[in-house]
Structure 1
Amino acid sequence: MAAVRSGIPIKWTSEQIIDRDRVEIHFHHLKAFSKGMQVVWTFDQRPDGVLVTIVHDLHFRIPALAPIAEPIIGDFFTHNVANKTLRCMRDYVEAKANRVAA
């Protein structure tokens, strides 16, 4: 996977598991600075749409650097990329729904 944050390219490898019964997507980051991070996306149908919740569980591999690395990886990169991904997914799904409804 790849993204760009403030002009900085980011690349990582993750395993994705779709749990249709629980309506969740699980990601396990396998390579890059986020190696070992577990991510769960949950989808909750609401009257006005779908609420998507993303939980990131990152424990930096070098404990001495964790106080510096975790806010950078989590706040600066991860949350930004997740928000962009959700916006793109919403726009795509809504555009498809509008085409079907027309």
Structure 2
Amino acid sequence: MRTYNEIDLQCSPEDAFRFARMVDRWPQHLQHYRKVRFIEGNSGEGGLVEMAAYRRFDKVSWPVWWMSEMEVDAQLLRIRYRHVKGITRGMQVEWKLEPASSGMTKVSIVHEWEQPQVGRIVAARVIGPVFVHFIADQTLQGLKQAAERQREAAAYG
């Protein structure tokens, strides 16, 4: 199973990277995140992080939960996760942040799951598109809004 999400943010790659790696603050910016906390480590260096979010279906919110080993590469502006607990155990995730045109930053997220415990068909047809892709898209949209709000606030003092 593989999913791909991408968005352009109107901020520098360094500002976008700061929002992306500060996962423990995501619930402040992202309505669909219930909880993010480091079991070991921190947002600057990475570590073991527990994450919980909601996948909204009209009026119903489906709770999802996972635990990941987070690796931060500030030089390359990359963040990698390896899911170690939860239904998506074994999933590999990579965030890439790259300069784009006119002061924009392209942020992409790739989720890959080669050995899904739930079966390849369920992973490819349900978990990937319905949960992973949707939640990643909501995450990118929320981080875009937060980063651009901060940029506007800095511009207006």
Query: TM-score, length-normalised on structure 2?
Result: 0.60
Aligned position for 2:132: 78
Aligned position for 1:89: 143
Answer yes or no: is 1:55 the counterpart of 2:105.
no
Q: Give the alignment's Cα RMSD to 1 decimal.
A: 1.2
Alignment of 1:1-102 (within 5 A): 1-5=51-55, 6=57, 7-48=61-102, 49-59=104-114, 60-61=116-117, 65-102=119-156
The separation in 2 between residues aligned to 1:71 and 1:16, in whole angstroms, is 26
The separation in 2 between residues aligned to 1:20 and 1:56, in whole angstroms, is 20
Number of residue pairs the alignment of both structures matches: 100
CA displacement, residues 35-90 of structure 1 (integer Å, 9 cap, x when unaligned): 0100000011112311111111112135xx22123321111100011001111111
The separation in 1 between residues aligned to 2:131 and 2:65, in whole angstroms, is 11
Q: Of the two structures, which has the highest relative contact order with CA contacts closer than 8 Å and spacing of 6 or more?
A: 2
- Contact 1:58 1:70 (8 Å CA) reproduced: no
Amino acid paired to 1:3: A
The separation in 2 between residues aligned to 1:44 and 1:71, in whole angstroms, is 30
Structure 2: which 5+ residue stretches go unaligned? 1-50
The separation in 2 between residues aligned to 1:35 and 1:99, in whole angstroms, is 39
